[in-house]
A and B are shown apart, each in its own frame.
Chain A
Amino acid sequence: MPATFTRHQVETEKRDTGYGGKPPVDRRPTGGGGGDDNWDSRSSRHGGPRELLIRYRLAVLSGLAGDFVFFAVLVSAFFVRPTAGHIDAGANFVSDWHPIAIPPILWINTAILLLSSLTIEVARRQLFHEIDVMEEWLGLGRPAVKRAAPWLLATILLGGLFLAGQWIAWQQLSAQGLYFATNPNSHFFYLVTGAHAFHLLLGLLALVFAMAAIFRLKKVEMRQIALDCTAWFWHAMTLFWIFLFILLVCYQ
């Protein structure tokens, strides 16, 4: 093979300061009107901070769409199960579905998770607060980050609390002798809560990363992206949890 695969050298992206140096606030730069992508008339803008934000959000959203399907697949097992059963040695039909008494701590956990979604949303909004962002943009300190940080910290704590709560719930179940492999319902319970907890663990890592990011990153827009994407991920996990929780509680 020859040494040249590309006809042209790849040029590294030119730095773009955005829309004429306007800071990236959470408002459409054009004022009212349509979205950023129009079928026909306009193309996407290049290199601006808002474009960057949208790009990252898109990636996170596509990932979450896949994740949604993943959870839907796990849940599909749940809907197949309650009707399943088998004929035992005595020719009796035995339903394998043994309802699990949901550990009450899950209610508390749910409340905690909802609260954490709230706190991260507050944190996220701080980073897009127009006046503060303007100040950061101009290099006059970091008011937005300062305001967001406590909320972010609160989210991390609540997230940790939720995971601890889930752990306790598993302990309680296994104390009753219900393990992963015990019966179809317990497979299902552990699988969905486990998969969800794993996602939250990733979410916690992302939160810690975002915490570091908003202090360490130099560019305002990168700080925003770090927090923004984490927040959307976190919200999605809360949403998934509510969905799963309703299922666990109502359809035993």
Chain B
Amino acid sequence: MNAEPAHSAAPSHGFLRRRVFTTEHRALAVLYLLIGLAAVIVGTLLSLVIRIHRVWPTVPFPLYGILRPEDYLAVVTMHGTLMVFFVLTVVPQSAFPNLVLAEQIGTRRMAFPRLNATAFWITLASFLALLAAFFVPQGAPISGWTSYPPFSAIAATGPGQGAGMDCWLASIALFCIAAVASSANFLATIVARRGPGMTFGRLPLTVWSWLTSSALTVIAFSALFGAALMLFADRHFGTSFFIPAGEVINGIARSGGASGSPMLWLHLFWFFGHPEVYISILPGMGLASALLANFTRRPVLGYRFMVIATLMIGFLGLGVWGHHMFVSGMNPYAGTAFGLTTIAIAVPSSAEVLTWLAMLFRGRLRLSTPMLFTLGFISFFISGGLTGPILAQPALDAYLHNTFFVVAHFHLVMAMAGVFSLFAGIYYWYPLLTGRLMNEMLGKAHFWISLIGAYGTFFPMHLAGLAGEPRHYAQLAGPVESFPSLIPVERGITFAALTLAAAQLIFLFNVFRSARHGDRAGENPWRATTHEWSPDLHPITRGEPYVYGPYPGGTKDFLPQWELAAPATSAQPYPSGAKPE
């Protein structure tokens, strides 16, 4: 059971102390991964409910029965919230940094281990608060993960907008606190705890990504916290920050009449929401660069260029939120301006994409599972990202907004690219957790089925969007428009989604099986150069992060950051001063 018996010798610590009530960052990473896993399982089941209900609206679900329209909306809301916050923020922005960040910068401790652990417990509380929404009277909220007021501010607007919405708000507020706390820890760690020799110029690209996304987290989640507080006051303390005067709900005029502005929430939410989507993808982008270097055995092309692109994305990401509001009645000139900033942010993103493509053509690809998932990530990032510039044009968004075209966009670029980078990370770092490798055969099967399933699911959604099908529709057929041409498309999507979800069983099986039966990984199974693989407890950084390439006459084709370059002879490609870019 135990990979290296010597290590289990830690005396006087029970399992709970070592693995659960701990401040050790790798144990925390595992705990975060467990939250992510729980969330992704619930989220995926909900997505299947969505898909099945859309195609067979009258089929009863086991243990529940036939879904009512409000149940459908509750399912969509919880699916979105779980996936965005508890999968695609918790895993890349909390679990992965806890897993390797400290090691990658050449240290063995976070700057504030206790703060870090506290953040985890708050996250857990937040997760439970969200799940509680299913069980309160009237069930989960139905206003979507964006919770636009006055819908979200007045309980009378629909089922789930009472206690369920309060659970949602409590969960979000807790999540904000946890995210800011853990990001403050990461920022301090990256800036002030780098090991000897680890200059900024030698930071791995994943660390640059975490630096950027942590800074974004501090800003974005603080804004969301403020907004959530105001929404809470509107719901319970009689204020009206977001509720306009003269509201009439169900034919009953709402008394009290200070006038607020729902637009304010839109601005605040998206000021958080857009940085949030980059928080969830930047770590994946950094990881993609690192893995491409590793599995092509060539240095990252244009290291500084990539660093600058990452920082640019983070910086520009703060100024584009209005592209979610082109048709909300915002000033049209603001629409034009936000369109421009959005196009501007596509440029550094494209720069990274092009660099990855260029990297693919150098050296020989080693198609191990993490590499395959990285390729999948790139593929999805492109196919989802390319619709970004279309949505960024206000004139076109005026048709596409809130149709399935947008759903297709963000599932490809966020859900699939994001999840594929999570898979890449897990297949790649798995040996750090268990000392073993995951099964390659199963991994490849998982990859190919997922790839096909994902394109099968989300590509046709563009067509549904072009046909004008709006989001959040509990059924395809409305009283006036029933989209007859979309019935086969929707059905195909559902079958693909079922395949996609089924493929994840292979992954789960692989994760648990390999923990005991996987091949022994050894010290540095991927022959990687960054410090998380170094055998040394206090590594000294001696060089650039990604030095790969054939050594004429040498035995290795990589130079880890903890090793000194071989003495310079004219034949060697990496004399100590040279920068192999």
Chain A residues close to B by CB (< 8 Å): 1-11, 13, 37-44, 46, 51, 54-56, 58-59, 62-63, 65-74, 76-77, 80-81, 84-87, 96, 180-184, 187, 191, 195
Contacts and interface: CB of A to CB of B under 8 A. Distances in A.
B264 A80 contact: yes
B4 A7 contact: yes
A19 B259 CA distance: 61
Given A44-B198, A71-B226, A87-B246, 17 more contacts: A2-B435, A2-B515, A3-B1, A3-B2, A4-B434, A9-B7, A10-B109, A56-B188, A58-B191, A59-B188, A63-B180, A67-B222, A80-B264, A96-B259, A180-B237, A187-B233, A187-B240
A73 B268 contact: yes
Contact of A38 (B199, B229, B258): B199
B226 A58 contact: no
Contacts of B229: 195
A74 B435 contact: no
B259 A86 contact: yes
B267 interface: yes
Interface of B: 1-4, 7-8, 10, 15, 19, 24, 26-27, 30, 107-109, 111-112, 115, 180, 183-185, 187-188, 191-201, 215, 218-219, 221-223, 225-227, 229-230, 233, 237-241, 244-246, 256-261, 263-264, 267-268, 271, 432-435, 512, 515-516, 537-538, 541
Contacts of A59: 111-112, 115, 184-185, 187-188
Nearest to B115: A59
- Lowest 7 CB-CB distances: which A-B pairs, in order? A181-B238, A73-B226, A86-B245, A66-B222, A55-B192, A69-B222, A62-B184
A15 to B, nearest CB: 13
A41 B197 CA distance: 9
Given A43-B198, A43-B541, A66-B218, A187 B261 contact: no
Contacts of A5: 19, 26-27, 30, 433-434
A7 B24 CA distance: 13
Contact of B259 (A4, A11, A42, A184): A184
A4 B435 contact: yes
18 contacts: A1-B512, A4-B3, A5-B27, A6-B24, A6-B27, A7-B435, A39-B201, A43-B194, A43-B541, A59-B187, A62-B187, A62-B218, A69-B226, A96-B258, A181-B258, A184-B241, A187-B233, A191-B230
B62 to A, nearest CB: 30
A86 B434 contact: no
Nearest to B23: A10
Contacts of B233: 180, 187, 191
A74 B24 contact: no
A44 B541 CA distance: 12
Contacts of A68: 222
B218 A65 contact: yes
Contact of A187 (B108, B196, B258): B258
Nearest to B224: A73
A43, A71, A72, A187 — most chain B CB neighbours (10 Å): A43
A54 B192 contact: yes
A6 B26 contact: yes
A52 to B, nearest CB: 8
Contacts of B180: 62-63, 66
Contacts of A84: 244, 259-261
Contacts of A41: 199
Nearest to B187: A62
Contacts of A3: 1-2, 8, 15
B191 A44 contact: yes
A4 B2 contact: yes
Q: Which of B7, B223, B237, B239 has the most CB of A within 10 A?
A: B239
B471 to A, nearest CB: 27
Contacts of A72: 223, 226
B170 to A, nearest CB: 17
A46 B261 contact: no
Contact of B515 (A1, A7, A182, A195): A1
Contacts of A184: 240-241, 258-260
Nearest to B268: A73
Contacts of A38: 199-200
A31 B90 CA distance: 43
A50 B478 CA distance: 67
Contact of B239 (A43, A70, A180): A180
Nearest to A60: B184
A15 B246 CA distance: 65
Contact of A77 (B264, B515, B516): B264
Contacts of B3: 2, 4
A6 B27 CA distance: 8
A4 to B, nearest CB: 5
Contacts of A71: 226
Nearest to B29: A5
B108 A58 contact: no
B436 to A, nearest CB: 8
A160 to B, nearest CB: 25
A183 to B, nearest CB: 5
A76 B267 contact: yes
Nearest to A62: B184
A4 B8 CA distance: 6
Most interface-central of A38, A41, A70, A184 (chain B CB within 10 A): A70
Contact of B264 (A70, A76, A180, A191): A76
Contacts of A67: 222
Nearest to A13: B109
A217 B240 CA distance: 48
Given A4-B7, A10-B108, A70 B222 contact: yes
Contacts of B230: 73-74, 77, 191
B537 A8 contact: yes
A4 B196 contact: no
A72 B258 CA distance: 22
Contacts of A46: 107, 193, 195-196
A195 B200 CA distance: 37
Nearest to B244: A86
A11 B107 CA distance: 10
A128 B92 CA distance: 40
A3 B13 CA distance: 12
A31 B237 CA distance: 56
Nearest to A39: B200
B219 A65 contact: yes
Contact of B200 (A13, A37, A55, A80): A37
B192 A43 contact: no
A181 B237 contact: yes
A181 B193 CA distance: 47
A1 B1 CA distance: 8
A80 B261 contact: yes
Nearest to B239: A187
A40 B202 CA distance: 8
A62 B226 contact: no
A56 B261 CA distance: 39
